[in-house]
Amino acid sequence: MEETLSSQEIYSGRILKLRVDDVRLPNGRQTKREIIEHSDCVAIVAIDADDNVLLVKQFRKPVEKELLEIPAGCIEDGEEADTAVSREMREETGYRPQKIERLGGFYSTPGFCTEYLHLYMASDLVPGELHAEDTDDIELVRVPLRQIAGLISSGTTCDAKSIAGLLLYLTTKKSG
């Protein structure tokens, strides 16, 4: 374990905070840790009635390219994870899931960030309207389930949450 000696907030923004912790390592040496505080999020493997996976294509400024991802988003203060799943599905896909099942979860980048992603499967989808203001640049893409492994192996889908969520779903589906 590392003992925190002091902590200083360097930046506080809309979706994250950055702090620097002075820590003592188990060997007694002191060092600094830069830590991004980020709220927990949900990531959703959404399956329609035709066994298609609903993915969203959107531009991601940090990597300067469009990515093909599973729907995801932050859990708001006081919100339960399964409620966030329904909200994010409406905001990013326009669909409302009638069935939500937890698949698991993981820390996105535990070397420097506190974010934990709760993975869910959503099905029995009911069409509706998009309910968010910032979804104009999101394109909904339906991909047959049988093509998902190829999207991952080819690098077409290349973000950690999507790869983890889709592989976990495929593994769970095969064993179940």
**pLDDT tens column, 124-168:** 999 987 766 666 688 999 999 999 999 999 999 999 999 999 999
Tell the residue number behind the tokens 């969203």, with chain if given: 56
Tell the residue number behind the tokens 């949450």, with chain if given: 161
User: Which has the closest alpha carbon to 85: 98, 70, 68, 100?
Assistant: 100
Residue 52 · residue 123 · CB < 8 Å: no
Rounded to an integer, what distance in angstroms lies between the CA atom of residue 132 and that of residue 140? 14
**pLDDT tens column, 82-118:** 999 999 999 999 999 999 999 999 999 999 999 999 9
| Domains of the chain, start order | 3-37 (no CATH), 39-175 (3.90.79.10)
Query: What's the mean pLDDT in 39-59?
Result: 97
Q: Percent of the chain having pLDDT more than 90? A: 91
